Amino acid sequence: MAKWIETLKEEDFTGSVKVVEYDNVPIAIFKLGDQYYAIDDTCSHDEASLSDGEIVEACQIECPMHGARFDIKTGKNLSFPAVVPVKSYPAKVENGVIYIAVEE
């Protein structure tokens, strides 16, 4: 079962990505337009931080280590060398606060 956790206030969200931690797992929260999306921050191919990568083609993040690409909205792996997706988390905004849904 999932539970919604508070992460950041929208007013504190500057730039296009912030990293939060839940249960010792770094989670990257991306802002694309007016929407927020959350995926595991660690590349499934190697131990690189996806939030250090470059956003390409509107909704893809490119790993800074070996260039693997992931869909920011779903976590799906889109190119080699990554062959496994990263976990994605539903995100929502209520009263100016960004929440993500995590497994209990």
- pTM (2 decimals)? 0.96
In 3D, which of 49, 47, 45, 29 has the Cα closest to residue 37? 29
In this predicted model, what pLDDT tens digit does every residue of 24-80 receive, in sequence order?
A: 999 999 999 999 999 999 999 999 999 999 999 889 999 999 999 999 999 999 999
C-alpha distances out from residue 19 to 14, 66, 83, 104, Å: 12, 20, 23, 20
Domains of the chain from N-terminus onward: 2-103 (2.102.10.10)
In this predicted model, what pLDDT tens digit does every residue of 6-30 receive, in sequence order?
A: 999 999 999 999 999 999 999 999 9
Looking at residue 104, its pLDDT comes to 84
Looking at residue 84, its pLDDT comes to 98
The residue type of 49 is: S
SS3 50: helix
